[in-house]
Structure 1
Amino acid sequence: MVKLSLILCVYNGEKYVDEAISSALDQSLEDIELIIVNDGSTDKTLDIINSYLIDPRIKIINQKNKGLGAARNVGMNHASGEYIGFLDADDWLDSKMCEVAYNEAKSNDTDITMFKIINQDDSTGEKYESDWFNLKNLDGRFDNKVFSPDDTKDVLFDFSVSACQKIYKNSFLKEIGAEFPEGIYFEDMPFFYYVYLNAERISIIREHLYIRRKHDSSITEKIDAKFLDTVPAGQIMFNNFVEGGFYEDYKFDLIAYKVNGPRMALASITDDYKAPLFNLIKEDYENIRKTEYYNDFLDNLGPKKKKFFLDMLKSDSYDEFIEINENKY
C-alpha cells in the first residue's frame, strides 16, 4: 500500500495537464501513486499523459466521457493508497503537499485533513489569497488539534467544498460508501457535506499546499448552462442531511444555503438559461411544498430568501417572477 493516491481526472486538458502531472510526480513524498482518469479526451491530452509512462507510479484509466463525478469515482475505486487526494487538471501542487498533508493525517489518524489553497491568475501570474480557501472560519482554537463536525456546527456552511483542498483516509471513504454524484456539475458540494458529517477526526494545516489556476474557461468562471446543476446538487445535499440524521441540527443554515445557491445562480446566469433555471427551481420548491419540511422553510428563511422562495411558488413563468421581483432577487 502506498501512502497517498492522487487522483487526476482530465477531459481535453492539453493546455495545462502537463504542469499538473509534473507537480504530482515531483513531490517530496515519493511513496505515492498518480491515478490519471482520461475522461474521453479528444485533443492531445492522452499523448501528454503517455509521455510520463516511464514513471511506474502512474496508473492510466481511459474511458468514454462521463463527467468529473464519474471519473473521480473510478479513480477512487482504483486507489490503493492509505490516503486519497484530488488534483484538477488545470491546477498544480506545492512540491511538499503530499508529505506535509500525509504526515499530518497519519500522525493524528484523521479521516480528513484540510489545507489552504492559493489562487493564481492565469493571465497575469499574480497569486492572491481568499478567506474562502484560507480556512478563515476556523480560528486558532483549531490549530494543532483534532476536531469533529460537532465542533464546527456554526461554521459548516462557510467551508470551501473543494475536494482538492483535503486528503481523505481511504478506508474511511470506503466504510461510508462515499462517492461523487454523477452526471452533474457541482459534484463537490454534496460529496463534501456527506463525507465531512460522517467523519470523526478532522485536522487542518495552515499552509498553501495547492495552487488553483483562475482562467476564463474554468467551470465556475462562466455562469452558463452548468449552473442549472445547482438545483440537483442542492437536492442531493439536502437529502443527505435528512437521510443521515443531520437535518435537525443544521436546518436553519441548511435551508438558507439550499435556497441561496440557486438564487444567486439565477441572478447571474446568462439570459438564455434564466427561464430553464427558473423552471428547475420552481419544480424543486413545489416538491418541497408537499413535504414535512415546507413549514421549516417558511419559519427559518430570512426575509429576502423567503420572498424569493414564495415568489417562485406564486409564479407560473420566469417573466411573471420578474414582474413580481422587479429584477431584485
Structure 2
Amino acid sequence: MVKISVILPVFNNEMYIKQAVESVLAQTFTDFELIIVNDGSTDSTQDIINSFTDDRIIIITQDNQGPGAARNNALEIAEGDYIMYLDSDDWFCPDALEVAYAEITRFDADLTFFKMINYDGVKYYENDWFEMKTFDSSFEDRAFSPKETPGSIFDLSVGVCQKIYNKKFLKKINARFPEGIFFEDMPFFYYVYLKAERISIIKRHLYVRRKHTQSITNVVDEKFFDTVPAGQELLRIFIENGWYDAYKFDLLAYKINGPRFALRDMPPECRPHMFDLIKSDYESIKRTQYYEDFLTQLGPVKKKFFLDVLKSDDYEEFSRKAR
C-alpha cells in the first residue's frame, strides 16, 4: 500500500506531459504511485511516458474514452489511501503532496481543497475562482461540513485537480465521473462535496494550471456542447440525492448559465447545433414536474433565455428574439 495515488490522464499532449510527470517524481513526499492513463494518444505521448523508469509509475494504455473514463479506470486500480489528480499540461508545486497529505490526515477529512495558480507561458497570475475566496478565515484550521456553505456552493471551483480525496470515502459513495463527455468534473465535484462530512482547506498554491490555446476551457468550441449533458447529469444528481429543494434557486441558474454562455461565445457555425441541444434539453424539462420551478425560480434574464429557446424552432428564430 502507498499513501497517495496520483492519477494523470493524457491524450495527445507530447508538449507538456514530461513536465507533468517530472513534477510528481520530484515531490518532497515520496510514498506515492503515479497512474498515467494514455487515453488513445496518436502522437509521441506513449514514447515519452515509456522513457520514465521509476517503479512508482503505473501505465494504463487504452483506446480513447475521454477523461472521465480514464480517471474511473485509474481509480479502480489505485492502491493509495488518498487520491490526487493531475492534468497532463499542468504540474504540482514541489511540496504539493506533502502539504496536502498532512492537511487531509490532520483533520481526517473526506476531501481537502488547496489553491491553484495560473501560468500563461510568460507569467503566473491568480484569479478568485482558484483562490478559494468563498472560504473566509473562519474555515481555516478546522474541518467543516457542506451544510455550513449552503448559499455559496456554486461559487466553488469544480476542478478535480484542486483537491486531495480520501479513497475510502470515494469508494463508500461510489464516486464516478460521467463518461463520454467533457466537463465531467462538474457533476463529480458536487456529488462528492455534498456527500462529504468533513472538508478542509489549505490557503496555499500547490498546483500550477497552464493556460494555452489547446486548454479544454480556453477555447469555446465543440467541446462546449457537453455543457448540456453535464448539466443534465448535475440536475439528476441533485434530484436523486434529495438536494434539489434546498439548492434549486442557485442550481437552476447554474444549469442555465453554462450552455447559455457557451451558445453566446462559440463560433457562429457551432451555434445552431448548440441551440438544438439546449432546446431538446428544455423540451424534456417541460415534460417534468420541475418545469414550473424554471418559470418561478429563474431571474428575468435566464427565464427569458429559457422561454425564448422553447418558443423558437431553430437558432435563426431564437437569434431574432434575443436581439
| TM-score interval, normalised by the smaller of the two chains | over 0.9
Cα deviation 1:148-174 (Å, max 9, x = unaligned): 110111110001100000011001111
Q: Share of identical aligned residues, percent?
A: 58
- Aligned equivalent of 1:293, options 282, 290, 313: 290
| Matching of residue 171 in structure 1 with residue 146 in structure 2 | no
Please give the secondary structure, in 1, of the residue aligned with 2:86. Answer: strand
Which residue is 2:256 aligned to? Answer: 259
Q: C-alpha separation between the residues in 2 aligned to 1:78 and 1:104?
A: 24
Show the counterpart of 2:62: 63
Match of residue 223 from structure 1: 220
Query: Where do 1:1-329 residues align within 5 Å?
Result: 1-52=1-52, 54-122=53-121, 124=122, 126-326=123-323
Give the letter for the 2:163 counterpart. Answer: K
SS of 2:242's partner is coil
| CA displacement 1:188-231 (0-9 Å, x = unmatched) | 10110111111111000000000000000111111111000000
Give the drift of 1:40. Answer: 1.1
Q: Within 2, Cα distance between the matches of 1:113 and 1:22? A: 23
Q: How many residues align?
A: 323
Instruction: Measure, in 2, the Cα distance between the counterparts of 1:286 and 1:13.
Output: 39
1:111 alignment partner AA: D
- Give the match's secondary structure for 2:12: coil
Q: CA deviation at 1:12?
A: 0.9
Deviation at 1:98, TM superposition (A): 0.4
- Structure 2 unaligned runs (5+)? none
**Distance in 1 (alpha carbons) for counterparts of 2:3 and 2:152:** 31
Q: Which amino acid aligns with 2:5?
A: S
TM-score by length of 1: 0.97
SS at match of 1:61: strand
- Partner letter of residue 253 of structure 1? D
Work out the CA distance in 1 between the residues paired with 2:284 and 2:63.
Answer: 34
Distance, in Å, in 2 between the alignment partners of 1:22 and 1:265 is 35
SS in 2 for 1:278: helix
The structural deviation recorded for 1:252 is 0.4
- CA shift, 1:41, in A, is 1.1
* SS, match of residue 284 in structure 2: helix
**1:111: how far off?**
0.5
User: After the TM superposition, which parts of structure 1 deviate over 4 Å for at least 4 consecutive aligned residues?
Assistant: none
3-state SS of 2:59 partner: strand
Which string of whole-angstrom CA distances, capped at 9 and with x for unpartnered residues, describes residues 45-96 of structure 1? 11111111x2111101111111111101111111110000000000000010
Residue 316 of structure 1 deviates from its aligned partner by 0.6
TM-score normalised by the chain length of structure 2: 0.99
Q: State the distance in 1 between where 2:48 and 2:315 align.
A: 46
In structure 2, what residue type is equivalent to 1:45?
T
Q: 2 CA distance for matches of 1:299 and 1:91?
A: 42
Letter in 2 for 1:11: F
Name the SS of the counterpart of 1:88 in structure 2. coil
Cα distance in 1 for partners of 2:64, 2:321 equals 42
The CA deviation at 1:25 is 0.7
